[in-house]
């Protein structure tokens, strides 16, 4: 039943018609739990509140199905606006973005130009930028562009997914770039040809890539809500005496907020992934697919309206 729910939510996340309707009717039916409003002003309020609680943030302006160059350029403009807002409001926040929203599916020229614009502004305002990883079909292109950008910019990192067979090799290949990586389990539906089909295997690979990247001496963001992975990371850094400046935990806005604060109290750096914008639907569906228990939160939100 749980797998059926996951598959259904992943299917719905790619529906363009429903995405358009969601944009039109706004953040309703529980999505506000996971999305910090539709504009930068709303997001700033959320970030300030999180910062006051000792939580760092990575901010993401949501975008799906970008097919036109003008749309990609406008998305890049929004990212630059977010960078400026982070600086002007002295927020403890980084920026996250998806290459598809910057024009990855349009052309290399479009996505590269937009990324250079964003990273130049980010460098000026001293804001770090993480390139999110998307589905497997875009993994190689994403890493190729990351390597190209890393040669010119130091303020950029990316994401690797534990459920992919290739990730261990990617850790080794990227080592020479001394990358700042966010390590995640992975939220897209992939075939067993490219991804581990069983949770146990994904968890084991997650632990292996965390260890490999940390022992390479590179900054590691462990992005998980799983206590088993969190506790494994705590043991690992203790055994190998890895300094706290070399790693952090990351979680999604609206999921396990009590655990986020608990980690802060324990002295760990904790960063919250805060998305905002009108194009929230695909992101929202993936959160439900990732953890069907989140449906209970949504139903409560609807019943309160």
Residue pLDDT, tens place only, 66-78: 899 999 999 999 9
Please give the average per-residue pLDDT across 111-124, as a whole number.
98
| Coil vs helix vs strand at 249 | strand
pTM higher than the cut 0.85? yes
Whether residue 6 has pLDDT greater than 80? no
For residue 54, give both structure tokens: 């000792």
Average pLDDT over residues 201-221: 98
Q: CATH number of the domain at 188, please.
A: 3.20.20.220
Determine the structural domain holding residue 151 and report its residue range. Answer: 36-279
- Cβ-based neighbour number of residue 225 at 10 Å: 17
CA 217, CA 179: separation in Å to the nearest integer? 10
For residue 60, is it within any domain?
Answer: yes
Strand partners, 129: 95, 156
User: Using one digit for the tens of pLDDT, what is the confidence trace for 134-151?
Assistant: 999 999 999 999 999 999
**Average confidence (pLDDT) over 126-140:** 97
Q: In this structure, how many other beta carbons lie within 10 angstroms of the beta carbon of residue 228?
A: 11
Q: Does residue 235 carry a catalytic annotation?
A: no
In a domain, 256, yes or no: yes
Q: Let me know if 271 is a catalytic residue.
A: no
61 pLDDT more than 80:
yes
**pLDDT tens digits, 167-199:** 999 999 999 999 999 999 998 889 999 999 999
d(CA 73, CA 247): 33
Among residues 198, 182, 178, 181, which one has the least CA distance to residue 190? 198
Q: Under a CB-based contact definition with an 8 Å cutoff, are residues 50 and 57 in contact?
A: yes
Q: Is the pLDDT assigned to residue 265 strictly greater than 70? A: yes
Band (261; pLDDT cuts 50, 70, 90): very high
137 located within any domain: yes
Portion of the chain with pLDDT greater than 70, in percent: 81
Residue 162 contacts residue 184 (beta carbons within 8 Å): yes
Rounded distance between C-alpha atoms, residue 182 and residue 256, angstroms: 19
pLDDT at residue 21 is higher than 80: no
Which one is catalytic: 6, 182, 271, 287?
A: 182
pLDDT tens readout for residues 283-300: 766 666 665 554 444 444
Inform me whether the pLDDT recorded for 302 exceeds 50: no
How many Å is the maximal CA-CA distance in the chain?
52
Q: Kindly state whether residue 233 falls inside one of the protein's structural domains.
A: yes
Report if residue 110 sits inside a domain. yes
**Counted domains in the chain:** 1
Q: Does position 218 have pLDDT exceeding 70, yes or no?
A: yes
Q: 231-256 pLDDT, tens per residue?
A: 999 999 999 999 999 999 999 998 89
Active-site pick, 56, 60, 132, 279: 132
pLDDT of residue 292: 52
Classify residue 208: in a domain, yes or no: yes
């Amino acid at each position: 039943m749980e797998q059926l729910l996951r598959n259904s939510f992943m299917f719905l996340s790619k529906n363009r018609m429903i995405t358009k309707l969601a944009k039109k009717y706004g953040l309703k039916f529980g999505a506000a739990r996971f999305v910090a409003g539709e504009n930068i002003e709303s997001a700033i309020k959320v970030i300030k509140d999180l910062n006051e609680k000792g939580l760092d943030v990575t901010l993401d302006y949501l975008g799906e199905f970008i097919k036109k160059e003008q749309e990609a350029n406008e998305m890049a403009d929004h990212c630059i606006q977010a960078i400026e807002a982070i600086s002007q409001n002295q927020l403890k926040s980084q920026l996250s973005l998806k290459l598809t929203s910057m024009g990855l599916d349009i052309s290399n020229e479009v996505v590269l130009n937009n990324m250079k614009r964003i990273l130049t502004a980010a460098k000026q305002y001293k804001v770090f930028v993480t390139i999110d990883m998307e589905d497997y079909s875009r993994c190689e292109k994403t890493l190729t562009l990351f390597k190209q950008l890393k040669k010119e910019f130091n303020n950029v990192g990316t994401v690797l997914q534990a459920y992919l067979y290739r990730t261990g090799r990617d850790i080794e290949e990227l080592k020479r770039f001394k990358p700042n990586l966010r390590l995640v389990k992975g939220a897209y539906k992939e075939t067993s040809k490219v991804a581990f089909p069983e949770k146990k295997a994904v968890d084991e690979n997650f632990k292996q890539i965390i260890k490999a990247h940390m022992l390479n001496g590179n900054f590691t963001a462990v992005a998980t809500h799983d206590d088993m992975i969190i506790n494994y990371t705590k043991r690992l850094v203790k055994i190998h005496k890895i300094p706290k400046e070399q790693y952090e935990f990351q979680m999604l806005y609206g999921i396990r907020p009590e655990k986020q604060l608990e980690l802060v109290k324990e002295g760990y750096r904790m960063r919250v992934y805060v998305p905002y914008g009108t194009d929230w639907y695909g992101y929202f569906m993936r959160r439900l697919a990732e953890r069907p228990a989140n449906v209970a939160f949504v139903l409560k939100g609807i019943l309160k309206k």
